[in-house]
Amino acid sequence: MSRFSSPQDPRFRALNSSVSFDYRLAPYDLEQSRAHVRMLARCQIIEPDDMTELERGLEEIRAEIDGDRFQVLPEDEDVHMAIERRLIEIVGPVGGKLQTARSRNDQVATDLAMFVRAHSLNAQEALLDLMRGLVDLAERHLDWQMPGYTHLQRAQPVYLSHHLLAYFWKFRRDLGRFGFCMRATDDLPLGAGALAGVNFETSRMSVAHDLSFQGVVENSIDAVSNRDFVIDYLSAAATCATHLSQLASEIVLWSSEEFGFCEVSDGFASGSSIMPQKKNPDAAELLRAKAPRVAGGLVALHGVLHALPLTYNKDLQEDKEHLFDAVDTLELSLAAASGMLEEISFDRERLATAAQDDLLGATDVADLLVRRGVPFRESHGIVAGLVRRAVESGRQLSELTEDELGELAPQLGSEFYELLSDGGWIESKVSEGGTSLARVREQLARARHALEEATR
Ligand code: ARG
């Protein structure tokens, strides 16, 4: 029997149906159902024989799904209804007991929490791979000099290792964000029923235990309306994808003829259909462009949840595609980024030549004056005058004559030329977290330690 006297309009059916995308929740749904059924029997809400039958049916469905034999029918609105329908086909009317003391509202929230937890763990593992790759890459390019940039203008020289490790720490924060996502799914929504609880003495804690949740959601209304953990995942994923886009964008720039700092391997590049000479860093370009897509999912979910009255509303069905797309995009991006970095090669000469621009020593010349007692603001002006003279006459800073030096910066003597000729200013960045070799070595050790901690 149905409450309705006429069938669903096919246009509504198309709008309402979610099985084409929520089908991927099936493994979680089956695991959840198994735990639920066992609890029902433990609490004597169903007979032990019912439990056996239900478990048998669920197992068979799992085999059908694993073997790609499960048939979704047009009337299956979502994955939960498809599984229930098939269960009744397999075990008969007893299959109808599966939904005792459960609503699709607490059920779908539970599937999603399980999904978010599993994929937060995947993201963490993929991040750790990438971080290990970055540490190795930094180690292999420990003392390779390159220009550091601000405003994409050469600013001060740094070691390539130092630059690469900057990304390591960004990804480490992402690791923490996915850890937060996992804690956001600690509590089990199941058992909340449609919204108010159920009419049976269930044991939610035992289900929580079976499904590896730490506890149960305290409030049934919160349990069925909460999608914070989806927001949390999307937020962590958006930040992580943004970091990937920054790294990728540098690789795109650096692979250009103009920079010539690096070359991506053939495995991560493609050619042009018309220009035979081209080797394009497509992987990096795509990583650069994927981030807004993930951020878009986050914005969309904020839109779905915005001003949504409690408790369950069908709007909540719109959480899934954004989440799934973000998961697929991020997991693929992280894997591709790791692969690309494993095979990338850098051009030591090009990097060094760019770093040897002695204008990059300007800050160090200013600091030399500071050591002579000149206030920094004043020394900044004096060196600016030197730079201007050099640039205007098309010379390097070190090509200024002693007469010019006497005129523009009488406080400076031969140390000016010494400083610029040994190019040693990179090693003068001795402060904690700076680019001097000793500090980068320290940093590398800390990064390795952080990796060990995270994998323990
Ligand atoms: N497919 C639905 C969703 O994804 C499941 C919950 C349906 N609940 C309901 N009361 N219609 O949100």
Q: How confident is the model at residue 138 (pLDDT cuts 50, 70, 90)?
A: very high
**How many angstroms separate the CA atoms of 331 and 334, rounded?**
5
Q: Whose CA is nearest to atom 7 of ligand 1?
A: 104
Q: Which CATH code is given to the segment(s) 105-194+219-354?
A: 1.20.200.10
Task: Say yes or no to pLDDT of 293 above 80.
Answer: yes
Residue 443: predicted pLDDT: 98
- Of 140, 150, 156, 153, residue with least CA distance to 426: 156
Distance 371 CA to ligand 1 centre (A): 70
- Please state the length of the chain: 456
> Could you list the active site residues?
151, 272
Residue appearing with tokens 């994927």: 290
Residues in Cβ contact with 161 at an 8 Å cutoff, skipping those fewer than 6 apart: 138, 139, 141, 142, 143, 144, 440, 444
pLDDT digits (tens, 9 = 90+) for 296-319: 999 999 999 999 999 999 999 999
Q: Which one is predicted more confidently, 359 or 77?
A: 77
Superfamily of domain 10-100: Fumarase/aspartase (N-terminal domain) (1.10.275.10)
Q: Whose CA is nearest to atom 11 of ligand 1?
A: 314
Beta strands in 257-382 (DSSP E): 262-263, 345-346
Tokens of 362: 């300007």
Q: Whose CA is nearest to atom 12 of ligand 1?
A: 317
Q: Whose CA is nearest to atom 3 of ligand 1?
A: 317
* 154 φ, ψ (degrees, to nearest 5): -55, 130
Ligand 1: nearest atom to the Cα of 194: 10
- Of 180, 182, 185, 179, residue with least CA distance to 216: 185
Distance 287 CA to ligand 1 centre (A): 34
Q: How confident is the model at residue 367 (pLDDT cuts 50, 70, 90)?
A: confident
Residue 190: predicted pLDDT: 98
Judged by DSSP in three states, 145 sits in: strand
Ligand 1 mutation target, pool 15, 104, 320, most atoms within 8 A of CB: 104
Q: Whose CA is nearest to atom 4 of ligand 1?
A: 317
The count of other CB atoms within 10 Å of the CB of residue 77 is 18
- Of 188, 212, 13, 2, residue with least CA distance to 102: 188
- Tell me how far the alpha carbon of residue 185 is from its chain's centroid: 18
Residue 451: predicted pLDDT: 97
Residue 32 host element (H or E): helix 26-42
Tokens of 392: 């205007």
Q: How confident is the model at residue 287 (pLDDT cuts 50, 70, 90)?
A: very high
* 375 φ, ψ (degrees, to nearest 5): -60, 145
Q: How confident is the model at residue 360 (pLDDT cuts 50, 70, 90)?
A: confident
Distance 361 CA to ligand 1 centre (A): 64
- Of 255, 252, 258, residue with least CA distance to 286: 252
Give the chain's mean pLDDT. Answer: 95
Question: 356-454 adopts what CATH topology?
Answer: Ribonucleotide Reductase Protein R1; domain 1 (1.10.40)
Distance 73 CA to ligand 1 centre (A): 17
Task: Say yes or no to pLDDT of 424 above 80.
Answer: no
Cα pseudo-dihedral 138, 144, 146, 150, rounded to 10: 30
Distance 45 CA to ligand 1 centre (A): 24
Task: Say yes or no to pLDDT of 102 above 80.
Answer: yes
Task: Say yes or no to pLDDT of 115 above 70.
Answer: yes
Task: Say yes or no to pLDDT of 423 above 70.
Answer: no
Distance 105 CA to ligand 1 centre (A): 6
**How many angstroms separate the CA atoms of 221 and 196, rounded?**
6
- Of 105, 305, 308, residue with least CA distance to 195: 105
Ligand 1 mutation target, pool 79, 84, 85, 108, most atoms within 8 A of CB: 108
| Residue 224 Cα distances to 103, 213, 314, angstroms | 10, 16, 12
Residues in Cβ contact with 226 at an 8 Å cutoff, skipping those fewer than 6 apart: 109, 189, 217
- Of 141, 158, 344, 168, residue with least CA distance to 252: 344
What is 68-118 written as a DSSP string?
A: T-PPPPTT--SHHHHHHHHHHHHHGGGGGGTTTT--HHHHHHHHHHHHHHH
Q: Where are the domains of the chain?
A: 10-100, 105-194+219-354, 356-454
- Around ligand 1, the residues with Cβ closer than 6 Å are 18, 22, 78, 104-105, 108, 312, 316-317
Average pLDDT estimate for 387-416: 88
| Residue 250 Cα distances to 158, 362, 418, angstroms | 15, 25, 33
Tokens of 96: 């109808």
Residue 422: predicted pLDDT: 66
Ligand 1 mutation target, pool 76, 99, 105, 313, most atoms within 8 A of CB: 105
